[in-house]
Amino acid sequence: MATVSFDKATRIYPGSDKPAVDGLDIEIADGEFLVLVGPSGCGKSTSLRMLAGLEDVNGGAIRIGDRDVTHLPPKDRDIAMVFQNYALYPHMTVADNMGFALKIAGVPKAEIRQKVEEAAKILDLTQYLDRKPKALSGGQRQRVAMGRAIVREPQVFLMDEPLSNLDAKLRVSTRTQIASLQRRLGITTVYVTHDQVEAMTMGDRVAVLKDGLLQQVDTPRNMYDKPANLFVAGFIGSPAMNLVEVPITDGGVKFGNSVVPVSRDALQAATDKGDRTVTVGVRPEHFDVVELNGGASASLTKDSEEAPAGLAVSVNVVEETGADGYIYGTVEVGGETKDLVVRVSSRSVPEKGATVHVVPRPGETHVFSTSTGERLSDR
């Protein structure tokens, strides 16, 4: 097994002035499962292809273990790649597909058969070894592609959106199988996806890219709890974090008809930048719905003559998943209409067209600079 290092690795495509990958710096530990995630065109697949040797590196270096592989051809890097389109030979059986790379390398037939059978047992493919790819489902074909990588016993697995061709239910079960398999084999793995749910559920660490630049690399939990900037905050989480620009006031920020206390250091940092507003992030599950009929949250409301506390959300769409309910609504903030998503109890879901009042839960707000987008709060 081996570590992987991107040392300010840069890729600029011919005819372009802007790097597709700009000074990528990541250290991947031996046996780690790292997920590269981001929107289309962010540079994640280019980064993987640079590691595989399929793209030139115009600046910086890439290392696998203690070897500088920056300019080595793919065959000399000891990596195995799994693509989204499986790339199986249609005229070969499953066994022949899995063992083809070993056959080309001159490995004896008996050894090839042994390794193929061992991999097939791990992947639950034993009964399909004599079938052709066309007789398999999409999930089975992807497992064959995984098996072809496993039998080579590489130092590093590279996976480029391997689940994107599968239906939603199969994606969930297959991602669990891949994560479990990687932990069992202990092979360093770099996995590319545009699906942040995949990233959060599979990776030991997640690296978020945007426009070729690394935004943050951290464990899924830390990234969810402490996104480094507005882009990561809006990208990680499903549904995404609500981001609302609000004015700074004494003791906190003005959130509708309430003052929400936030870190003094965050407000001071914003003031030092000359900002009169900050962008507050609140995840859908971190809102409290204010009861207007003397219910459990009535203490959050103001006097009866005054407007209710918090933000008034006009409910446009209600989604019930069984375990939870989600309100998709609009709010008026600073004279502008903003979209807001709130998770509510599945037992008390408001009607479409209703108005509910919400306030962020204390200690569950994220504060970002409106001008730079960087995180200001410790929380």
DSSP state of 14: T
- CA–CA gap between residue 99 and residue 150 (Å, rounded): 10
Q: Quick one: average pLDDT of 75-85?
A: 89
Q: How far apart are CA 265 and CA 223, in angstroms?
A: 21
Check whether 106 has a pLDDT greater than 70: yes
Rounded CA separation 346/356 (Å) = 15
pLDDT number for residue 295: 40
Query: Which are the contacts of 6, defined by CB distance < 8 A and separation ≥ 6?
Result: 24, 25, 26, 47, 50, 51, 60, 62
Alpha-carbon distance of 23 to 70, in angstroms, equals 14
What is the number of other CB atoms lying within 10 angstroms of the CB of residue 12?
17
Task: Using pLDDT thresholds of 50, 70 and 90, give the confidence band for residue 307.
Answer: low
Residue-level pLDDT at 308: 66
Looking at the DSSP bridge assignments, the partners of residue 255 are: 258
pLDDT at 291: 63
Question: Is the per-residue pLDDT at 305 higher than 80?
Answer: no
Residue identified by tokens 């599945």 is 346
pLDDT at position 170 is 83
- Residue 285: what pLDDT? 94
Domain ranges of the chain: 4-234, 240-369
Name residues whose C-beta falls within 8 Å of residue 375's C-beta, 6 or more positions apart in sequence.
Answer: 226, 227, 228, 229, 233, 366, 367, 368
Q: Residue 119 pLDDT > 80, yes or no?
A: yes
User: Which CA distances in Å does 97 have to 93, 153, 313?
Assistant: 6, 15, 56
Quote the tokens at residue 225: 């709890």
Q: Is the per-residue pLDDT at 57 higher than 90?
A: yes
Q: How confident is the model at residue 215 (pLDDT cuts 50, 70, 90)?
A: very high
Q: Does domain 4-234 have CATH number 3.40.50.300?
A: yes
- Name the helix (H) or strand (E) containing 255: strand 252-255
Higher pLDDT, 298 or 310: 310
Q: What percent of the chain has pLDDT over 70?
A: 94
Q: Quick one: pLDDT band at residue 329, thresholds 50, 70, 90? A: very high
pLDDT at residue number 294: 39
**pLDDT attached to residue 258:** 77
Among 2-6, 16-20, 192-196, 274-278, the minimum mean pLDDT is found in 274-278
DSSP state for residue 296 in the 8-state scheme:
T
* Residue 302 reports pLDDT greater than 70: no
CB neighbour burial string for 115-148, b if at least 16 within 10 angstroms, e if fewer: bbbebbebbebeebbeebbeebeebbbbbbbbbb
- Which of 74, 55, 68 is CA-nearest to residue 10? 55
Percent of the chain topping pLDDT 90: 58
How confident is the model over 346-371, as a mean pLDDT?
88
Q: What is the pLDDT of residue 246?
A: 87
Q: Judge whether residue 117 has pLDDT over 60.
A: yes
Mean pLDDT for the chain? 88
**What single letter denotes the amino acid at residue 285?**
E
pLDDT band at 250 (very low <50, low <70, confident <90, very high): confident
Q: Is the pLDDT of residue 158 over 70?
A: yes
Asked if the model's pLDDT at residue 303 lies above 70, the reply is no
Given this chain, do its domains 4-234 and 240-369 carry the same CATH topology?
no
Q: Tell me, what DSSP letter sits at residue 375?
A: B
Q: Report the CATH architecture of 240-369.
A: Beta Barrel (2.40)
Q: Which residue has the tokens 């809006």?
A: 234
Per-residue pLDDT band at 292 (split at 50, 70, 90): low
